[in-house]
């Protein structure tokens, strides 16, 4: 075997080992899934509160995203984007569509003074959908990396 071919095979094997190690390290604690779900719930609930509180809710959600990013970097050494290439997009796409539909419905119901509670109910649904979606995404990610 030529030296270049051996080096290429060694590089591919090193890449595979790194992916398997990442897959072994990647399981998130339940609190991480809950943190993501809380961000989604805050976003869905935000139209139901008065405008000044809405901006505060959005600021809290953005700050939480930054904290989650740091949390992942401390735990894994990297942040793994949910929109990455691969089979995980088959989870991310539908999750995004469902969450956007819940947010749109929340916007609609928040327009009626007698219906803001429906927006809060939709936020609870958004939390559950995001939590389950996050755990499914993690399983697909681990399977994709060979763990």
**pLDDT at position 76, please?**
78
pLDDT tens, residue by residue, 75-132: 878 788 777 888 889 999 999 999 999 999 999 988 887 777 899 999 999 999 999 9
Of 41-50, 62-71, 82-91, the least confident? 82-91
Are 137 and 33 in contact by the 8 Å Cβ rule? The answer is no
pTM, two decimal places:
0.81
Query: Packing angle between helix 30-45 and helix 51-76, nearest 10 degrees?
Result: 160
Q: For residues 92 and 101, give the distance between their C-alpha atoms in angstroms, rounded to a whole number.
A: 14
Question: Can you say whether residue 92 is alpha, beta or left, with left for phi > 0 and alpha for psi between -120 and 50 degrees?
Answer: alpha
Structure token digits, residue 1 = 């075997």
Structure token digits, residue 104 = 């749109």
Of all residues in the chain, the percent with pLDDT exceeding 90 is 53
């Amino acid at each position: 075997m030529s030296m270049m071919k051996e080096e290429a095979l060694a590089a591919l094997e090193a890449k595979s080992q790194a992916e398997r190690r990442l897959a072994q390290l990647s399981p998130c604690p339940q609190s991480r899934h809950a943190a993501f779900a809380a961000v989604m719930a805050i976003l869905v609930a935000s139209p139901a509160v008065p405008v000044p509180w809405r901006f505060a809710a959005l600021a809290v959600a953005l700050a939480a995203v930054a904290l989650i990013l740091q949390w992942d970097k401390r735990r894994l050494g990297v942040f793994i984007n949910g929109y990455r290439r691969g089979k995980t997009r088959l989870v991310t796409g539908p999750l995004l569509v469902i969450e956007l539909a819940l947010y749109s419905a929340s916007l609609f119901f928040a327009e009626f003074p007698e219906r803001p509670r429906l927006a809060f109910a939709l936020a609870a649904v958004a939390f559950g959908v995001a939590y389950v979606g996050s755990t499914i995404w993690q399983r697909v990610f681990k399977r994709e990396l060979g763990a």
